[in-house]
Structure 1
């Protein structure tokens, strides 16, 4: 037989899918699912492995390899023989998977005849347009992700939201004032291990083959540059680089994306991008999340085959929780988890939909499973404590950092061509920002908003503040740089308020270079968030030396000192925002003083200190 395989390994310890072509032209498939992956799937399905409905999906390719039709074959826990003539296959393409709740097909593995040829994902018998991969919303999501409760706050619900696959509105979080009040005496223990604890010893030279004798760290993150959705990507990148500079061997396992190699070694960090298998049929959001975790587990198993020996796992947010918990159990190593935000915070603590409750449970599960939980602010520490009740001794506040030198010294003529967006607002082909953003003209005062277009980022209040502001500062201009499910409502609100271009521009999602160009031309940066665990955009604006107006919500109150390095406005108040923006735009001396104070603070907020704190925590967990 002419046998080919995408993975060759010991059947009891690994996951693989192989085939052999018989002299008669039949294709005999052989497959195995590792015990770790079986355990993760059975826990998700709440069924024993022998009851999981496994399926082999085979594909027929068109002559130009651009389209494929598929046929499903239910299988038992035995090799499956597929007749080439029966399936009408011109080449042996297949996926091994199972039918999840509600019968969506979840691929575990795929195998193709030519490893150098991309697997077909343009399906003629299945519609890919509604696949909820990599997005916060979709037509088959429970009710979406991070939806908050369906309150009428700032914007009315739109009648066509359901048809658009988007929630009608998002909600502000609670202030957690009760939790903060009750924990006033307990907040001080939210700190890292004592500074006298020595940092971990330097590992030996790192390599692609993972040959170091020092236990490496495996970071799991669903986004990592150039796949950027929010602040999580920058946070993971900055921390991993900082840890590498301290001598740690850091491997970041993330999801494969366009315009990025499967493996990359950058600034001392090993970056591994694993494909999340997209099959012919759309997945509900929570099932897509689990399929992504299968990809994380598959990638981790691959790295161990290549010789990596990980001594610690660091998971970022609930989206990686299932794989992180399984790897902790399989490898018997400690698990650290950074919770960047919570569904409870985004939804004001309201019970919400079935999907929201599932996400809240995933938040709690990660916090309980982790040996230690890291958060980016004291506000977030109180939020996690209120939501999970975990011990204060299990929580550590490690603030985010910023590469101040990378943000400083930009001029308004900086490169504006690092916009990356797709239909989901994510990484895609670079587009020219200049077509959607024009630098402020003579006498114009440019206000910049950077962030996801979701309710909790508060852009609706910024829009409502503009008519009030224009009465006092008629040269004010607003650019909203971001993408998200709330954009149609925000555009409708801008039209209702008579805020057409050039007074208000929607610039789309901005990558790092575009963000620097936008900040360089800003007279003031507005951060009107209703819920903000930390405020990374605010810190980036500080690093760029821009005056800042932010709402006094969440971690922003810990980052911004009112009147010294920025101005704070009452949350959810267009009047308060307009007042503070007018103060900056109308007083050049105040703007210059705030900008100077902001840049001084940013220079003290690099990644060296957070990385050192996490390094001490790693050492404590390993010891």
Structure 2
């Protein structure tokens, strides 16, 4: 084999990814060789897989540059590598050769069909030679092509199970992990991509793929056409899912050219007719013909295809078929390859003009289309590869991995739920003829998860599972996987061999439940187990532990092993566990709530408390981490497409509730809930009543206050109602200022003893960066900010109306008239950004909008500023004021809300009238023109910060409230205690097993 494949010499305008999906269900029948369905494998080997190997060999030996992607499903790999199936296939080939030789004798005077009989006799011998050259294991040849770089092999579900219709994440994970392990066994490396069974996708599957190391998958066209947000590059570039897996969608145009029953290439009249086979044509009225063909039908005398077919399609309007002409067919295959290439080139030219990168056309097909259904298909592929090789200036062949290497950055979105079945939906696999299977499959999933989880616990005890028990659990996993094959539901829908599909489903489920019963009783029948292992021997490296409940040992999917889970439990089981609920938490920083929750939780952890924060996922942040002593759990709300924030919060609450229920039922401790604002109300209430856990709420702001006492629409009224319910359900309600306490007393009629005031604090124990200390460091900061000669006014806020940035901009002309070198730096982002920039346009370069700033850049801007302004119209507290005090900067705030309580006017800062342009302009100008006055005020403010707003002081007071409410439960035990097996195999201990939860 020549490994010197030419490199591309020209820059194309686009790429073609030809994808062949090679799959067969597990149709091995160890005790019988007369099962019709087993012939599916023989036909696929003879007509598809061996011819493809021949074509690839010729292309490589001729130095033709080509790239093909091919999925080899785990069940097909099991058939290809099984010695019994290899032996039976060789016998099948020998019988075909004998049949072809017999045909030469039968047709010795028929000069029309005799050349075709000779053709088959030669052809079958060629295929046998290829089979022997592979050592009877064709996988080795496909592996060689992959190692040469001309073929990229991807995996699929272990048994091609229809993933979106599985009930439990563990079942989906077992399908994927089993497939990945089996792939590595055959190819010596992990797969980069996967063909999702039936191209069926549902949101969330990408998370499991990512955890298994999968980089990309294939989907139906509609998955990207209806993605949310819709893919900017349509189906001609991959879309990156929320979990970072690339989705490549099927190109509808190239699919239509091949698959269409009306205009598709395989229907051409010159191609071989699939439905005319001598296995069906001979012996109906001629006893001699019957004796000739009888050894090649089933022992039950059921007729089957032999693979010898003498006719071409001829036409649609006649039953008469003319003799097959191989030369005509080959010529037509070349013409169709030309036509296919021409259309792909036109696509590449068109989309190259419209996109910011070279488009990729994904052309996926069932591999058996090429050779089995379309006899000339492998020839078509070879012609196409050769033509592209000699005409590479417009389009070139590529694999998805190569495309991702060239374009590692892509748009992000959520592909739509879809499949490549009828109507791009799930209906082929879920309708009246097959829906009965799912209640049985779902029950089996649950039983497998319970058994796997329970017996995995034995690894942490002296009672290790025995070898026989492990074998039984692994075999039970095999039987469940085999029952889940999407092929059985597909056959029931297509109404072909329905009895066979029903029997296979029932047989595997029956074997599964029999094994489970033995495992539960601790008495595994060795003979029965051996018979099953011989009958269904796929996936030798299968591991029942793939079904272990995610939340039994790792409440967070990415937490890790049982040891990691137990380490967390060990550290928290003897302490009260405080769970804070907050929709935002660093690195997700939308407003001040994120900073307040972060600082409070970190300080409580420093004081020795076990603090957990339940929040939402954020790009780049792990789903679980321990940071600054806080256990941070990030959940992913369900995706229901485009939705507004209010409705998204319901999805977030569902995710949080489900997470906490599973966490608690898996043995985790929850002793007290601390809910931050209305967004987490539903979870807080549900967990409170489900487990009798005390609840504290912090109200950071109210809808009534944000809208100045006016609730103008149903949305505002709904939020207001939820806020009231949260304060009602909470045992104590925290607010950050006396102003907020008065507001809640007025708005929600809360009793005074239920309301407690705890201001937000500052991390005064954290040293500021050195560049903020001293005159030289401040000078450098001004240089970095580009404000060397300016008097700098700094304002950092969300750009919304209540933050009052518009008031500062209206005051700017008056300030500039007194301080001409003043410069206003506005940091932050929000919905008013465009409006505010337009408002400041007439001020030219005197106003800079710097957008959202990270901590380092914020440090620099604070250091470079001469005055910090907080011009809010409504502010329950105002953490930014504490930040300015900590940085030692003169401060001007609005005389409103909690801000008014922080500053003593004229002592440690100025308070301007809220929304009053002249008042704000006067005080800002005063401090810019009197730097010594500002410095003295800043020093007093810093002293106040240390005395009144240090987080440790505030946190200690809050901790006392916590301790007055929570109770310490009994020591931690597993919710699902394992059945104990003694070291004597299969002998249960003399104690009753606890019931499953």
Is 1:318 paired with 2:454?
no
Structure 2 residue corresponding to 1:520, chosen from 839, 863, 866 = 863
Q: In the alignment, which of 235, 240, 263 is matched to residue 596 of structure 2?
A: 235
**How far, CA to CA, are the matches of 2:623 and 2:766 in structure 1?**
26
Structure 1 residues 346 and 486 mapped into 2: Cα distance closer, same or farther (>3 Å)? same
Which structure is higher in strand share?
Answer: 1
Report if the CA contact (8 A) 2:661-2:687 is conserved.
no
Structural RMSD (CA) = 3.3
Aligned twin of 1:399: 759
Provide Cα deviations, 1:367-425, integer angstroms capped at 9, x if missing partner: 111111101001011111112112111111011110125464653699xxxxxxxxxxx
1:336 has 2:679 as partner: no
Aligned counterparts of 1:473 and 1:407: Cα–Cα separation in 2: 33
| In the alignment, structure 1 residue 550 sits paired with structure 2 residue 893 | yes
Distance across 2 between alignment mates of 1:525 and 1:465: 14
Task: Determine which of 167, 172, 188 is the counterpart of 1:31.
Answer: 167
| Residue aligning to 1:476 | 822
Q: Tell me if the contact between 1:456 and 1:529 (Cα under 8 Å) persists in the aligned partners.
A: yes
Aligned counterpart, 2:879? 536
1:218–1:253 contact (8 Å) kept in structure 2 = yes
Query: 1:307-456 alignment to 2 at 5 Å?
Result: 307-406=667-766, 408=768, 410-411=770-771, 438-442=785-789, 444-456=790-802
8 Å CA contact 2:588–2:594 kept in 1: the answer is: yes
Aligned twin of 2:119: none
Whether 2:929 is the aligned partner of 1:568: answer no
Match of 1:490 among 836, 850, 861: 836
CA deviations 1:448-484 (Å, max 9, x no partner) are 0011000000000000000000010011100110000
Asked if 1 retains the 8 angstrom alpha-carbon contact of 2:818 and 2:925, the reply is: yes
Q: Report the CA distance shift for 1:601/1:489 in structure 2 as closer, same or farther (over 3 A).
A: same
In structure 2, distance between residues paired with 1:327 and 1:258: 27
> Relative to 1, partners in 2 of residues 1:335 and 1:88: Cα closer, same or farther, differing over 3 Å?
closer
Query: In the alignment, what sits opposite 2:568?
Result: 208
1:98-247 superposed matches below 5 A: 112=208, 115-116=211-212, 117=214, 124-126=224-226, 128-129=228-229, 207-209=567-569, 211-247=572-608
Is 1:617–2:970 an aligned residue pair? no
> 1:84-95 to 2 correspondence within 5 Å?
89-95=197-203
SS of 1:209's equivalent?
helix
SS in 2 for 1:31: coil
How big is the shift at 1:130? Answer: 9.1
Q: What's the TM-score, normalizing by structure 2?
A: 0.42
Q: Secondary structure at the match of 2:574?
A: coil
Change in Cα spacing, 1:255 to 1:381, as seen in structure 2 (3 Å) is: same
- Describe the superposition over 1:87-122 as per-residue Cα deviations: whole angstroms up to 9, x where unpaired: 995455335xxxxxxxxxxx9x98856643489999
Determine if the alignment matches structure 1 residue 259 to structure 2 residue 620: yes
Note closer, same or farther for the CA distance 1:88–1:526 as it changes in structure 2 (3 Å cut). closer
Distance (Å, rounded) in 2 between the aligned partners of 1:500 and 1:306: 60
User: 2:672·2:695 contact (CA, 8 Å) conserved in 1?
Assistant: yes
Task: Look up the match of 2:663.
Answer: 303
Q: Using the alignment, how far apart are the partners of 2:917 and 2:695 within structure 1?
A: 43
Evaluate the alpha carbon distance shift between residue 571 and residue 287 of structure 1 in structure 2; reply closer, same or farther with a 3 A threshold: same
CA contact (8 A) 1:409 1:544 kept: no
Query: Distance between the aligned counterparts of 2:621 and 2:163, measured in 1?
Result: 34
Relative to 1, partners in 2 of residues 1:127 and 1:206: Cα closer, same or farther, differing over 3 Å? Answer: closer
With a CA cutoff of 8 Å and minimum separation of 6, indicate the structure with the bigger relative contact order. Answer: 1
Provide the residue aligned with 2:939 in structure 1. 596
Q: C-alpha distance in 2, partners of 1:411/1:26?
A: 58
Q: Following the alignment from structure 2 to structure 1, what is the Cα–Cα distance between the partners of residues 216 and 909?
A: 51
Separation of aligned partners in 1, 2:957 and 2:784: 40
Gaps of 5+ in 2: 1-24, 27-155, 170-194, 232-241, 243-564, 775-780, 968-997
Aligned to 1:606: 950
Measured after TM superposition, the shift of residue 355 of structure 1 is 1.2
Query: Rg bigger for which structure?
Result: 2
Distance of aligned partners of 1:551 and 1:32 in 2 relative to their CA distance in 1, 3 Å threshold: same
Q: Which residue in the other structure is 1:287 paired with? A: 647
Aligned length: 447
CA deviation after TM superposition for structure 1 residue 601, in Å: 1.6
Contact 2:671 2:693 in 1 (8 A): yes
Cα displacement (A) at 1:306: 4.9
Q: Indicate whether 1:277 and 2:413 are aligned.
A: no
| Rounded Cα–Cα distance in structure 2 between residues aligned with 1:574 and 1:27 | 61
Alpha-carbon separation, structure 2, partners of 1:241 and 1:387: 32
